Structure 1
Amino acid sequence: MTKKEEGYILIFVFITLTSLGILLPVLLQLVSNEVIITKHYQQQIKNYYLVKGVMVVAKEEVSKQINKLSYISKENLDQLQIEGSIVLKDPNSSHQIKTEYLVKEIVDESSKLNLNLASQERLEELPEIGETISQRIVDHRLYNYLEELLNLSGIDNKLYEQIKDYLTLKTQGKINLNTAPIEVLNTLPGVGETLATRIIMNRIFTNIEELKDVEGVGPATYQQLEPLVKVDSNYFQILVRIKIPERELQTERLKIIKLD
Protein backbone atom coordinates (compact mmCIF):
# COMPACT_ATOMS: atom_id res chain seq x y z
CA MET A 1 0.00 0.00 0.00
CA THR A 2 1.44 3.34 -0.98
CA LYS A 3 1.69 6.32 1.35
CA LYS A 4 -0.86 8.08 -0.81
CA GLU A 5 -3.37 5.26 -0.32
CA GLU A 6 -2.67 5.23 3.42
CA GLY A 7 -3.38 8.95 3.46
CA TYR A 8 -6.72 8.44 1.77
CA ILE A 9 -7.63 5.75 4.28
CA LEU A 10 -6.70 7.98 7.20
CA ILE A 11 -8.77 10.81 5.75
CA PHE A 12 -11.73 8.44 5.26
CA VAL A 13 -11.43 7.12 8.82
CA PHE A 14 -11.19 10.67 10.16
CA ILE A 15 -14.28 11.79 8.24
CA THR A 16 -16.20 8.70 9.37
CA LEU A 17 -15.30 9.17 13.03
CA THR A 18 -16.09 12.88 12.84
CA SER A 19 -19.48 12.14 11.26
CA LEU A 20 -20.25 9.55 13.91
CA GLY A 21 -19.24 12.02 16.60
CA ILE A 22 -21.72 14.52 15.19
CA LEU A 23 -24.54 12.09 14.38
CA LEU A 24 -24.39 9.85 17.45
CA PRO A 25 -25.70 12.46 19.93
CA VAL A 26 -28.45 13.35 17.45
CA LEU A 27 -29.43 9.70 17.03
CA LEU A 28 -29.38 9.15 20.78
CA GLN A 29 -31.60 12.20 21.26
CA LEU A 30 -34.03 10.96 18.61
CA VAL A 31 -34.22 7.55 20.27
CA SER A 32 -34.72 9.19 23.66
CA ASN A 33 -37.49 11.40 22.27
CA GLU A 34 -39.16 8.38 20.68
CA VAL A 35 -39.11 6.52 23.99
CA ILE A 36 -40.61 9.52 25.79
CA ILE A 37 -43.33 9.93 23.14
CA THR A 38 -44.15 6.22 23.29
CA LYS A 39 -44.42 6.27 27.09
CA HIS A 40 -46.56 9.41 26.95
CA TYR A 41 -48.84 7.81 24.35
CA GLN A 42 -49.16 4.65 26.43
CA GLN A 43 -50.00 6.76 29.48
CA GLN A 44 -52.69 8.60 27.52
CA ILE A 45 -54.24 5.28 26.50
CA LYS A 46 -54.27 4.10 30.12
CA ASN A 47 -55.82 7.38 31.27
CA TYR A 48 -58.44 7.14 28.52
CA TYR A 49 -59.67 3.77 29.77
CA LEU A 50 -59.61 4.91 33.39
CA VAL A 51 -61.70 7.98 32.55
CA LYS A 52 -64.05 5.83 30.49
CA GLY A 53 -64.52 3.50 33.46
CA VAL A 54 -65.29 6.41 35.79
CA MET A 55 -67.87 7.75 33.32
CA VAL A 56 -69.66 4.39 33.33
CA VAL A 57 -69.94 4.53 37.13
CA ALA A 58 -71.04 8.19 37.08
CA LYS A 59 -73.69 7.45 34.46
CA GLU A 60 -75.11 4.58 36.53
CA GLU A 61 -75.24 6.74 39.66
CA VAL A 62 -76.94 9.62 37.83
CA SER A 63 -79.53 7.25 36.37
CA LYS A 64 -80.19 5.78 39.80
CA GLN A 65 -80.65 9.20 41.44
CA ILE A 66 -82.91 10.57 38.68
CA ASN A 67 -85.11 7.48 38.78
CA LYS A 68 -85.69 8.15 42.48
CA LEU A 69 -87.20 11.59 41.76
CA SER A 70 -90.97 11.84 41.93
CA TYR A 71 -90.86 14.30 39.04
CA ILE A 72 -88.27 15.92 36.77
CA SER A 73 -87.65 19.64 37.20
CA LYS A 74 -84.64 21.89 36.76
CA GLU A 75 -84.63 22.54 40.51
CA ASN A 76 -84.65 18.83 41.31
CA LEU A 77 -81.80 18.16 38.90
CA ASP A 78 -79.76 21.07 40.25
CA GLN A 79 -80.17 19.80 43.81
CA LEU A 80 -78.77 16.35 43.07
CA GLN A 81 -75.33 15.95 44.61
CA ILE A 82 -73.57 13.08 42.94
CA GLU A 83 -69.92 12.38 43.65
CA GLY A 84 -67.76 9.52 44.73
CA SER A 85 -64.49 7.66 44.46
CA ILE A 86 -63.79 4.27 42.98
CA VAL A 87 -60.75 2.06 42.64
CA LEU A 88 -60.02 0.82 39.14
CA LYS A 89 -57.47 -1.66 37.89
CA ASP A 90 -54.68 -0.34 35.68
CA PRO A 91 -55.45 -1.67 32.15
CA ASN A 92 -51.96 -3.18 31.79
CA SER A 93 -51.19 -4.39 35.31
CA SER A 94 -52.72 -5.49 38.59
CA HIS A 95 -52.10 -2.05 40.11
CA GLN A 96 -55.16 -0.45 41.72
CA ILE A 97 -55.75 3.25 41.03
CA LYS A 98 -58.07 5.51 43.02
CA THR A 99 -60.26 7.82 40.96
CA GLU A 100 -62.73 10.52 41.98
CA TYR A 101 -65.72 12.01 40.19
CA LEU A 102 -68.15 14.88 40.68
CA VAL A 103 -71.26 15.44 38.55
CA LYS A 104 -71.21 19.21 38.09
CA GLU A 105 -74.34 19.59 35.97
CA ILE A 106 -77.35 17.60 34.76
CA VAL A 107 -79.45 19.07 31.95
CA ASP A 108 -82.70 17.63 30.66
CA GLU A 109 -82.43 17.25 26.89
CA SER A 110 -86.23 17.52 26.68
CA SER A 111 -85.91 21.13 27.81
CA LYS A 112 -84.57 21.87 24.32
CA LEU A 113 -85.74 21.99 20.71
CA ASN A 114 -84.81 19.05 18.52
CA LEU A 115 -82.70 20.51 15.73
CA ASN A 116 -83.82 17.87 13.22
CA LEU A 117 -87.53 17.90 14.09
CA ALA A 118 -88.53 21.45 15.06
CA SER A 119 -90.40 23.44 12.43
CA GLN A 120 -88.84 26.43 10.74
CA GLU A 121 -91.36 28.67 12.51
CA ARG A 122 -90.34 27.41 15.94
CA LEU A 123 -86.62 27.69 15.23
CA GLU A 124 -87.23 31.25 14.08
CA GLU A 125 -88.51 32.14 17.56
CA LEU A 126 -85.21 31.31 19.24
CA PRO A 127 -83.08 34.33 20.24
CA GLU A 128 -80.99 35.80 17.41
CA ILE A 129 -82.14 33.23 14.82
CA GLY A 130 -84.68 34.92 12.57
CA GLU A 131 -86.36 33.76 9.39
CA THR A 132 -83.31 33.51 7.11
CA ILE A 133 -81.11 31.44 9.40
CA SER A 134 -83.96 29.20 10.57
CA GLN A 135 -84.72 28.37 6.93
CA ARG A 136 -81.05 27.54 6.30
CA ILE A 137 -81.09 25.23 9.32
CA VAL A 138 -84.09 23.35 7.93
CA ASP A 139 -82.64 23.20 4.41
CA HIS A 140 -79.43 21.51 5.61
CA ARG A 141 -80.97 18.72 7.69
CA LEU A 142 -80.20 16.02 8.87
CA TYR A 143 -77.61 16.89 11.51
CA ASN A 144 -75.44 14.41 13.39
CA TYR A 145 -73.74 17.01 15.59
CA LEU A 146 -74.82 20.43 16.79
CA GLU A 147 -71.42 21.78 15.70
CA GLU A 148 -72.49 21.31 12.08
CA LEU A 149 -74.45 24.54 12.46
CA LEU A 150 -71.12 26.36 12.23
CA ASN A 151 -70.96 25.34 8.56
CA LEU A 152 -74.02 27.46 7.78
CA SER A 153 -73.70 30.99 6.49
CA GLY A 154 -74.74 33.45 9.18
CA ILE A 155 -73.86 31.24 12.16
CA ASP A 156 -70.50 32.17 13.67
CA ASN A 157 -68.99 31.02 16.96
CA LYS A 158 -70.70 33.81 18.89
CA LEU A 159 -74.19 32.96 17.63
CA TYR A 160 -73.56 29.24 18.04
CA GLU A 161 -72.67 29.73 21.71
CA GLN A 162 -75.88 31.74 22.17
CA ILE A 163 -78.20 29.08 20.74
CA LYS A 164 -76.56 25.68 21.37
CA ASP A 165 -78.02 25.28 24.86
CA TYR A 166 -81.53 25.50 23.41
CA LEU A 167 -80.97 22.68 20.91
CA THR A 168 -80.67 18.90 21.02
CA LEU A 169 -80.50 15.91 18.69
CA LYS A 170 -81.55 13.24 21.17
CA THR A 171 -85.27 13.64 21.90
CA GLN A 172 -88.43 12.76 20.01
CA GLY A 173 -89.31 16.43 19.75
CA LYS A 174 -91.61 16.98 22.73
CA ILE A 175 -90.67 19.63 25.30
CA ASN A 176 -90.80 19.00 29.05
CA LEU A 177 -93.07 21.64 30.62
CA ASN A 178 -91.19 21.40 33.92
CA THR A 179 -87.66 21.98 32.62
CA ALA A 180 -87.83 24.08 29.44
CA PRO A 181 -86.55 27.66 29.79
CA ILE A 182 -88.69 30.59 28.73
CA GLU A 183 -86.78 30.87 25.42
CA VAL A 184 -87.84 27.35 24.43
CA LEU A 185 -91.41 27.61 25.76
CA ASN A 186 -91.74 30.78 23.71
CA THR A 187 -91.28 28.74 20.50
CA LEU A 188 -94.49 26.79 21.12
CA PRO A 189 -97.46 27.85 18.95
CA GLY A 190 -99.75 30.29 20.71
CA VAL A 191 -97.24 30.86 23.51
CA GLY A 192 -95.64 34.27 23.83
CA GLU A 193 -93.41 35.57 26.58
CA THR A 194 -96.35 36.30 28.89
CA LEU A 195 -97.87 32.84 28.64
CA ALA A 196 -94.45 31.20 28.84
CA THR A 197 -93.86 33.04 32.11
CA ARG A 198 -97.23 31.86 33.45
CA ILE A 199 -96.38 28.26 32.56
CA ILE A 200 -93.14 28.54 34.52
CA MET A 201 -94.97 30.10 37.48
CA ASN A 202 -97.48 27.21 37.52
CA ARG A 203 -94.91 24.44 37.73
CA ILE A 204 -94.82 21.60 38.75
CA PHE A 205 -97.07 19.86 36.17
CA THR A 206 -97.79 16.20 36.89
CA ASN A 207 -99.68 15.73 33.63
CA ILE A 208 -100.26 17.69 30.44
CA GLU A 209 -103.92 18.43 31.17
CA GLU A 210 -102.89 20.69 34.04
CA LEU A 211 -101.93 23.19 31.35
CA LYS A 212 -105.64 23.98 31.14
CA ASP A 213 -105.39 25.56 34.58
CA VAL A 214 -102.89 28.15 33.34
CA GLU A 215 -104.45 31.52 32.59
CA GLY A 216 -104.36 32.11 28.85
CA VAL A 217 -104.45 28.44 27.83
CA GLY A 218 -107.86 28.02 26.27
CA PRO A 219 -109.19 25.00 24.35
CA ALA A 220 -107.65 26.12 21.05
CA THR A 221 -104.22 26.78 22.57
CA TYR A 222 -104.28 23.52 24.51
CA GLN A 223 -105.14 21.61 21.35
CA GLN A 224 -102.06 23.09 19.68
CA LEU A 225 -99.78 22.38 22.63
CA GLU A 226 -100.92 18.90 23.61
CA PRO A 227 -98.91 16.97 20.95
CA LEU A 228 -95.78 19.08 21.52
CA VAL A 229 -95.25 18.86 25.28
CA LYS A 230 -94.77 16.30 28.05
CA VAL A 231 -93.86 16.07 31.74
CA ASP A 232 -91.29 13.25 31.71
CA SER A 233 -87.79 12.85 30.28
CA ASN A 234 -85.27 10.11 29.56
CA TYR A 235 -82.32 11.87 27.90
CA PHE A 236 -79.95 13.95 30.01
CA GLN A 237 -76.64 15.70 29.44
CA ILE A 238 -74.16 15.31 32.29
CA LEU A 239 -70.95 17.23 32.94
CA VAL A 240 -68.54 15.19 35.07
CA ARG A 241 -65.26 16.28 36.64
CA ILE A 242 -62.80 13.41 37.02
CA LYS A 243 -59.65 13.31 39.13
CA ILE A 244 -56.92 10.69 39.18
CA PRO A 245 -54.60 11.98 41.96
CA GLU A 246 -51.89 9.39 41.36
CA ARG A 247 -51.58 10.54 37.75
CA GLU A 248 -52.03 14.22 38.61
CA LEU A 249 -54.89 14.19 36.13
CA GLN A 250 -58.04 16.31 36.26
CA THR A 251 -60.43 16.50 33.35
CA GLU A 252 -64.10 17.12 32.52
CA ARG A 253 -66.32 15.06 30.28
CA LEU A 254 -69.69 15.91 28.72
CA LYS A 255 -71.99 13.00 27.88
CA ILE A 256 -75.59 12.36 26.88
CA ILE A 257 -77.17 9.51 28.80
CA LYS A 258 -80.48 7.71 28.38
CA LEU A 259 -82.43 6.36 31.33
CA ASP A 260 -83.50 2.74 31.10
Structure 2
Amino acid sequence: MAEDPRWKWTVFSGLTRREQQVLVFLILIIGAGLAYEQYKGGWRREPLVFHQAGPNEDAAGAPAVAQPSASGAERSDSAAKAIEDGLLDLNRASAEQLEALPGIGPVRAEAIVRYRQTHGPFRRVEDITRVSGIGPKTLEAVRPYLQPLDGPSSPPATERRNGQARIGAPEPTRPAPPDHLPMVNINTATVEDLCTLHGVGPVLAQRIVEYRRQHGPFRAPAEIQRVRGIGRTVFLDNQARLTVGRAGR
Protein backbone atom coordinates (compact mmCIF):
# COMPACT_ATOMS: atom_id res chain seq x y z
CA MET A 1 0.00 0.00 0.00
CA ALA A 2 1.42 3.28 -1.10
CA GLU A 3 2.14 5.80 1.56
CA ASP A 4 -0.36 8.58 1.67
CA PRO A 5 1.51 11.91 1.58
CA ARG A 6 -1.38 13.69 3.14
CA TRP A 7 -0.31 12.62 6.66
CA LYS A 8 2.63 15.03 6.40
CA TRP A 9 0.31 17.93 6.00
CA THR A 10 -1.76 16.54 8.87
CA VAL A 11 1.24 17.03 11.16
CA PHE A 12 1.58 20.65 10.11
CA SER A 13 -2.16 21.23 10.24
CA GLY A 14 -2.14 20.45 13.97
CA LEU A 15 0.35 23.29 14.58
CA THR A 16 -0.27 26.95 14.72
CA ARG A 17 1.15 29.14 12.01
CA ARG A 18 3.79 30.43 14.40
CA GLU A 19 4.88 26.88 15.32
CA GLN A 20 5.05 25.93 11.66
CA GLN A 21 7.39 28.87 10.96
CA VAL A 22 9.63 27.91 13.89
CA LEU A 23 9.77 24.29 12.73
CA VAL A 24 10.65 25.26 9.17
CA PHE A 25 13.35 27.62 10.48
CA LEU A 26 14.90 24.87 12.58
CA ILE A 27 14.88 22.48 9.63
CA LEU A 28 16.64 25.09 7.49
CA ILE A 29 19.25 25.73 10.21
CA ILE A 30 19.96 22.01 10.60
CA GLY A 31 20.20 21.55 6.84
CA ALA A 32 22.57 24.49 6.49
CA GLY A 33 24.79 23.11 9.25
CA LEU A 34 24.95 19.69 7.64
CA ALA A 35 25.74 21.25 4.28
CA TYR A 36 28.55 23.33 5.81
CA GLU A 37 30.09 20.31 7.52
CA GLN A 38 29.94 18.37 4.29
CA TYR A 39 31.55 21.23 2.42
CA LYS A 40 34.25 21.64 5.04
CA GLY A 41 35.11 17.95 5.32
CA GLY A 42 34.54 16.45 1.92
CA TRP A 43 33.61 18.78 -0.86
CA ARG A 44 36.41 21.33 -0.50
CA ARG A 45 39.73 20.12 -1.83
CA GLU A 46 43.07 21.72 -1.30
CA PRO A 47 44.64 22.93 -4.55
CA LEU A 48 47.60 20.93 -5.76
CA VAL A 49 50.89 22.80 -5.36
CA PHE A 50 53.84 21.62 -7.37
CA HIS A 51 57.12 22.21 -5.50
CA GLN A 52 59.91 23.50 -7.64
CA ALA A 53 63.32 22.37 -6.42
CA GLY A 54 65.56 25.23 -5.42
CA PRO A 55 69.26 25.55 -6.22
CA ASN A 56 70.21 23.76 -2.98
CA GLU A 57 67.54 20.99 -3.16
CA ASP A 58 67.02 17.89 -5.22
CA ALA A 59 63.78 16.89 -6.93
CA ALA A 60 62.37 15.41 -3.69
CA GLY A 61 62.92 18.66 -1.77
CA ALA A 62 65.84 17.33 0.26
CA PRO A 63 69.00 19.42 0.48
CA ALA A 64 71.26 18.62 -2.41
CA VAL A 65 74.73 17.32 -1.64
CA ALA A 66 77.36 19.62 -3.08
CA GLN A 67 79.50 17.89 -5.65
CA PRO A 68 83.04 19.12 -6.29
CA SER A 69 83.47 20.80 -9.62
CA ALA A 70 85.42 18.98 -12.26
CA SER A 71 87.96 21.78 -12.58
CA GLY A 72 88.59 21.84 -8.80
CA ALA A 73 88.97 18.07 -8.67
CA GLU A 74 91.38 18.16 -11.60
CA ARG A 75 93.49 20.82 -9.87
CA SER A 76 93.64 18.81 -6.67
CA ASP A 77 94.60 15.64 -8.55
CA SER A 78 97.26 17.54 -10.48
CA ALA A 79 98.76 19.00 -7.30
CA ALA A 80 98.73 15.65 -5.52
CA LYS A 81 100.35 13.96 -8.52
CA ALA A 82 103.06 16.62 -8.58
CA ILE A 83 103.94 15.72 -4.99
CA GLU A 84 103.94 12.01 -5.77
CA ASP A 85 106.17 12.45 -8.83
CA GLY A 86 108.86 14.31 -6.89
CA LEU A 87 109.66 17.06 -4.41
CA LEU A 88 108.19 20.49 -5.05
CA ASP A 89 110.37 23.49 -5.82
CA LEU A 90 109.22 26.14 -3.36
CA ASN A 91 110.17 28.91 -5.81
CA ARG A 92 108.41 27.42 -8.85
CA ALA A 93 105.41 25.53 -7.48
CA SER A 94 102.02 26.97 -8.38
CA ALA A 95 99.39 27.88 -5.81
CA GLU A 96 97.42 24.73 -6.69
CA GLN A 97 100.47 22.53 -6.07
CA LEU A 98 101.32 24.28 -2.80
CA GLU A 99 97.71 23.88 -1.67
CA ALA A 100 98.14 20.09 -1.69
CA LEU A 101 100.92 20.26 0.91
CA PRO A 102 99.90 19.21 4.44
CA GLY A 103 98.77 22.14 6.56
CA ILE A 104 98.84 24.69 3.73
CA GLY A 105 95.46 25.01 2.00
CA PRO A 106 94.37 27.70 -0.49
CA VAL A 107 94.86 30.75 1.76
CA ARG A 108 98.43 29.95 2.78
CA ALA A 109 99.29 28.82 -0.75
CA GLU A 110 98.30 32.24 -2.10
CA ALA A 111 100.27 33.89 0.72
CA ILE A 112 103.40 31.97 -0.32
CA VAL A 113 103.01 33.08 -3.94
CA ARG A 114 102.51 36.72 -2.88
CA TYR A 115 105.59 36.56 -0.63
CA ARG A 116 107.66 35.30 -3.56
CA GLN A 117 106.43 38.13 -5.77
CA THR A 118 107.17 40.78 -3.14
CA HIS A 119 110.43 39.54 -1.59
CA GLY A 120 111.91 37.44 -4.36
CA PRO A 121 112.69 33.71 -4.35
CA PHE A 122 113.22 31.77 -1.14
CA ARG A 123 116.87 31.07 -0.36
CA ARG A 124 116.12 28.35 2.20
CA VAL A 125 113.21 26.05 2.87
CA GLU A 126 113.13 27.44 6.42
CA ASP A 127 112.25 30.87 5.01
CA ILE A 128 108.70 29.68 4.44
CA THR A 129 108.08 30.50 8.12
CA ARG A 130 108.33 34.18 7.18
CA VAL A 131 105.02 33.85 5.36
CA SER A 132 102.09 34.95 7.49
CA GLY A 133 100.28 31.99 9.05
CA ILE A 134 103.11 29.47 8.63
CA GLY A 135 105.06 28.45 11.72
CA PRO A 136 107.61 25.80 12.74
CA LYS A 137 105.01 23.01 12.94
CA THR A 138 103.84 23.63 9.39
CA LEU A 139 107.46 23.81 8.24
CA GLU A 140 108.19 20.36 9.64
CA ALA A 141 105.01 19.01 8.02
CA VAL A 142 105.88 20.25 4.51
CA ARG A 143 109.68 19.83 4.62
CA PRO A 144 109.65 16.20 3.37
CA TYR A 145 107.78 17.33 0.24
CA LEU A 146 110.04 20.27 -0.70
CA GLN A 147 113.29 20.32 -2.63
CA PRO A 148 116.31 21.65 -0.73
CA LEU A 149 117.16 25.17 -1.91
CA ASP A 150 120.67 26.35 -2.74
CA GLY A 151 121.00 29.08 -0.14
CA PRO A 152 123.16 30.04 2.84
CA SER A 153 121.83 27.23 4.95
CA SER A 154 123.19 24.04 6.41
CA PRO A 155 121.25 20.86 5.63
CA PRO A 156 118.93 19.64 8.37
CA ALA A 157 120.38 17.17 10.81
CA THR A 158 119.26 13.59 10.26
CA GLU A 159 119.33 10.50 12.38
CA ARG A 160 118.66 6.94 11.33
CA ARG A 161 116.26 4.66 13.14
CA ASN A 162 115.58 1.15 11.90
CA GLY A 163 117.34 1.94 8.65
CA GLN A 164 115.15 5.00 7.89
CA ALA A 165 116.40 8.56 7.82
CA ARG A 166 114.54 10.96 10.05
CA ILE A 167 114.69 14.69 9.57
CA GLY A 168 115.60 16.60 12.68
CA ALA A 169 115.94 20.26 13.53
CA PRO A 170 118.00 22.30 11.02
CA GLU A 171 121.47 23.42 11.97
CA PRO A 172 121.88 27.09 12.88
CA THR A 173 122.34 29.15 9.72
CA ARG A 174 125.32 31.39 9.17
CA PRO A 175 125.79 34.15 6.60
CA ALA A 176 127.45 32.96 3.43
CA PRO A 177 131.08 33.99 2.96
CA PRO A 178 131.62 36.93 0.60
CA ASP A 179 133.37 34.73 -1.98
CA HIS A 180 130.16 32.70 -2.56
CA LEU A 181 127.94 35.69 -3.38
CA PRO A 182 128.87 39.12 -4.73
CA MET A 183 129.15 42.06 -2.38
CA VAL A 184 126.45 44.72 -2.62
CA ASN A 185 127.30 48.38 -2.09
CA ILE A 186 124.06 49.73 -0.64
CA ASN A 187 125.09 53.28 -1.58
CA THR A 188 125.45 52.60 -5.31
CA ALA A 189 123.45 49.41 -5.93
CA THR A 190 120.53 49.51 -8.34
CA VAL A 191 117.11 48.09 -7.60
CA GLU A 192 118.10 44.94 -9.49
CA ASP A 193 121.29 44.56 -7.43
CA LEU A 194 119.42 45.03 -4.17
CA CYS A 195 116.87 42.39 -5.17
CA THR A 196 119.65 39.79 -5.01
CA LEU A 197 119.77 40.25 -1.24
CA HIS A 198 117.99 37.64 0.82
CA GLY A 199 114.50 38.78 1.81
CA VAL A 200 114.60 41.92 -0.35
CA GLY A 201 112.16 42.24 -3.22
CA PRO A 202 111.39 45.07 -5.66
CA VAL A 203 109.36 47.03 -3.10
CA LEU A 204 112.03 47.01 -0.39
CA ALA A 205 114.78 47.62 -2.94
CA GLN A 206 113.00 50.76 -4.17
CA ARG A 207 112.63 51.95 -0.56
CA ILE A 208 116.39 51.61 -0.06
CA VAL A 209 117.06 53.74 -3.15
CA GLU A 210 114.52 56.37 -2.04
CA TYR A 211 116.02 56.46 1.47
CA ARG A 212 119.44 57.05 -0.08
CA ARG A 213 118.15 59.98 -2.12
CA GLN A 214 116.43 61.64 0.83
CA HIS A 215 118.99 61.06 3.61
CA GLY A 216 122.27 60.70 1.77
CA PRO A 217 124.61 57.70 1.66
CA PHE A 218 124.71 55.07 4.37
CA ARG A 219 127.70 55.38 6.69
CA ALA A 220 127.59 51.76 7.84
CA PRO A 221 125.83 48.61 6.59
CA ALA A 222 123.77 48.43 9.80
CA GLU A 223 122.03 51.70 8.87
CA ILE A 224 120.04 49.80 6.25
CA GLN A 225 117.75 48.83 9.14
CA ARG A 226 116.48 52.41 9.14
CA VAL A 227 114.62 51.69 5.91
CA ARG A 228 110.98 50.87 6.56
CA GLY A 229 110.37 47.13 6.18
CA ILE A 230 113.97 46.04 6.76
CA GLY A 231 114.57 44.76 10.24
CA ARG A 232 117.34 43.03 12.10
CA THR A 233 116.59 39.63 10.54
CA VAL A 234 117.07 40.87 6.97
CA PHE A 235 120.22 42.72 7.98
CA LEU A 236 121.78 39.69 9.69
CA ASP A 237 120.92 37.43 6.75
CA ASN A 238 122.83 39.75 4.38
CA GLN A 239 125.44 41.25 6.70
CA ALA A 240 128.34 39.41 5.06
CA ARG A 241 127.43 40.84 1.64
CA LEU A 242 126.76 44.47 2.57
CA THR A 243 129.22 47.29 2.11
CA VAL A 244 128.99 51.07 1.93
CA GLY A 245 132.17 51.62 -0.09
CA ARG A 246 133.85 54.99 -0.22
CA ALA A 247 130.58 56.88 -0.36
CA GLY A 248 129.93 56.14 3.29
CA ARG A 249 133.29 57.33 4.57
Is TM-score (shorter-chain normalized) higher than 0.5?
no
Larger Rg: 2
- Higher normalized contact order (CA 8 Å, seq sep 6+, divided by chain length): 1
